[in-house]
């Protein structure tokens, strides 16, 4: 029980620190081009975790509206990676705003982001969320 409490505190501190870095450091280094493009694309909002095990995560988000580009949503791109960087990109080949990632490593911190694909163009990525997978129960 105490372990779960400390794990949640750790996850909260890590998430706060990296959100702060992304918001205050990364955005300050962007060019004006970023701001122009960001107004054209809709970002998936409210990215959250529906279910999780030691090796899987089911993500869900609010749908993307591609009408600003006079286009329609063709699919979503999910990025994730262990630690703080998203190193793996998955094309979901679906317009459903939910996706399950399998093959994760137990007791590992992961970062997740998602973007809509309007026609042939990737939109902006959602705010990253982080999760530490649970320990493998078969020890």
Tens of pLDDT, residues 44-91: 999 999 999 999 999 999 998 887 777 889 999 999 999 888 889 999
Q: pTM of the predicted model, to two decimals?
A: 0.69
DSSP notation for the chain: -HHHHHHHHHHHHHHHHHHHHIIIIIGGG--HHHHHHHHHSPPPEEEEEEEE-SS-EEEEEEPP--GGGT--EEEEEEEEEETTS--EEEE--S--SEEEE--PPTT-EEEEEEEEEETTEEEEEPPPEEEEPPPPS--
Domain of residue 100 covers: 2-132
How is residue 100 written in tokens? Answer: 């399950």
User: Is 64 domain-assigned?
Assistant: yes
User: Is 93 domain-assigned?
Assistant: yes
The domain total for the chain is 1
User: Is 72 domain-assigned?
Assistant: yes
What value does the mean pLDDT of the chain take? 78
User: Is 137 domain-assigned?
Assistant: no
Please check the confidence at residue 102 and state whether its pLDDT lies above 50: yes
- For residue 51, the domain's CATH number is 2.60.40.10
User: Is 139 domain-assigned?
Assistant: no
User: Is 103 domain-assigned?
Assistant: yes
How is residue 13 written in tokens? Answer: 């501190």
User: Is 138 domain-assigned?
Assistant: no
- Report residue 67: phi and psi, to 5°: -65, -25
List beta partners, residue 51: 58
pLDDT of residue 72: 87
Please, are residues 69 and 42 in contact by the beta-carbon 8 Å criterion?
no
């Amino acid at each position: 029980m105490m372990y779960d409490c400390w794990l949640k505190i750790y996850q909260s501190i890590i998430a706060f620190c990296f959100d702060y870095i992304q918001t205050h450091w990364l955005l300050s280094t962007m060019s004006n081009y970023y701001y122009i493009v960001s107004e054209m694309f809709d970002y998936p909002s409210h990215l959250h975790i529906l279910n999780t095990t030691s090796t899987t995560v089911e993500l869900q988000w609010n749908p993307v509206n591609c009408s600003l580009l006079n286009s329609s949503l063709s699919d979503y791109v999910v990025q994730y990676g262990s630690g703080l960087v998203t190193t793996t990109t998955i094309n979901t080949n679906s317009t459903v705003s939910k996706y399950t990632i399998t093959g994760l490593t137990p007791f590992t911190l992961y970062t997740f982001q998602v973007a809509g694909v309007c026609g042939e163009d990737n939109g902006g990525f959602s705010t990253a969320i982080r999760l530490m997978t649970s320990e493998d129960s078969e020890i």
